């Protein structure tokens, strides 16, 4: 069940949530995220939805002030959302929003302790991110562009696969953040953290070709965005998603191509070649190494395939002989 469906299901008595005195604290926290932390509008929208769910759950439990919230109330909220179909990842994000809100309320003196710190989401099945095989990116990236739009799409795909950018980072990228001569790109990621990442030679070449075509668009003259739409405005997240889907279909990919698949492929292929988990962490912009470690599982899957295909005992085991 989608988060919004759960929200509608819970709001059978909407007047409780709407009258909640906790809303002032939520509004203040969201304002802080936008103004001080420079959170993206997608992060803000997700946190707003999650905190609306929190407010509704608490209101239905008869709690309408921050001071009335304890760990038991948070656990009950998580349990209620879980019963209504929210998965593990959605509940983890919900708890992340709750912890952020309560940390904010502790820092401004509204609360003494964060009631969500000891609460964990139910563990779901571990799903590994989808990646391309090592030979598949060439099918996507070596095609000759036929238009300025396909030049842009090619540069976008090269940048995702060359440097592992997040979708939001790519869409926010401005011209001064590209250093094509130095083969570097500087991005601002989650938590307003800035990192500088190497650019591959083919990505730099694709970007040069796109920027030359971009310069012919009169509407782009006063826009700092690297990637623009046909109207000359900064390209949107949804537009990038749709264009990549179209490019994947046009190149005959069996799976749906999306930005995170290219980011995951960058990480998996780089780790497979280098074995340097710390370097991959830095380039992906992960605050914690544990987030990056999922790619070691992907690498293990590859090693297991190699073993099964090449090791003599694995071969004998498949053949049924065992001596």
Question: Which positions are catalytic?
Answer: 166, 190, 260, 263, 286, 295
Residue 292 CA: distances (Å) to CA of 117, 124, 298: 23, 18, 11
Strands in 71-217 per DSSP E: 178-179, 184-188, 194-198
Label residues 245-272 b or e (16+ Cβ within 10 Å = b): eebbeebebeeebbbebbbbbbbbbbbe
Q: What are phi and psi of 110, to 5 degrees?
A: -70, -40
End-to-end CA distance of the chain: 52
DSSP string across 35-102: HTS---HHHHHHHHHHHHHHHHHHHHTT--SGGG--HHHHHHHHHHHHHTT--HHHHHHHHHHHHHHH
Q: How many CB atoms lie within 10 A of CB 63?
A: 21
C-beta of residue 226 within 8 angstroms of C-beta of residue 179: no
DSSP assignment, residue 247? H
């Amino acid at each position: 069940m989608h988060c919004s469906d759960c929200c509608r299901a819970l709001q059978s008595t909407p007047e409780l949530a709407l009258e909640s005195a906790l809303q002032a604290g939520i509004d203040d926290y969201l304002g802080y995220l936008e103004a001080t932390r420079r959170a993206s509008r997608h992060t803000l929208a997700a946190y707003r939805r999650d905190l609306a769910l929190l407010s509704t759950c608490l209101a239905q439990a008869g709690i309408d002030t921050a001071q009335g919230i304890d760990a038991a109330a948070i656990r009950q909220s998580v349990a209620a959302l879980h019963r209504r179909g929210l998965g593990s990842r959605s509940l983890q994000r919900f708890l992340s929003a709750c912890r952020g809100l309560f940390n904010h309320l502790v820092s401004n003196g509204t609360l003494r302790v964060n009631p969500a710190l000891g609460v964990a989401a139910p563990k779901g099945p571990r799903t590994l991110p989808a990646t391309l095989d090592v030979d598949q990116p060439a099918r996507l990236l070596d095609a000759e562009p036929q238009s300025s739009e396909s030049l842009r799409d090619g540069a976008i795909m090269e940048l995702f696969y060359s440097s592992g950018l997040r979708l939001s980072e790519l869409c926010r990228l401005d011209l001064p953040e590209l250093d094509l001569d130095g083969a570097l790109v500087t991005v601002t990621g989650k938590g307003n953290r800035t990192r500088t990442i190497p650019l591959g030679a083919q990505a730099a070449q694709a970007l040069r070709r796109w920027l030359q075509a971009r310069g012919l668009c009169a509407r782009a003259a006063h826009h700092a965005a690297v990637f623009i739409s046909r109207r000359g405005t900064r390209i949107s997240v949804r537009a990038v998603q749709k264009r990549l889907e179209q490019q994947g279909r046009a190149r005959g990919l069996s799976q749906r191509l999306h930005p995170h698949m290219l980011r995951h492929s960058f990480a998996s292929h780089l780790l497979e070649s280098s074995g340097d988990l710390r370097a991959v962490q830095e380039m992906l912009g992960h605050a914690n190494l544990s987030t990056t470690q999922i790619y070691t599982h992907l690498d293990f899957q590859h090693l297991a395939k190699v073993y099964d295909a090449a090791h003599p005992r694995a071969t004998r085991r498949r053949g049924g002989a065992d001596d």
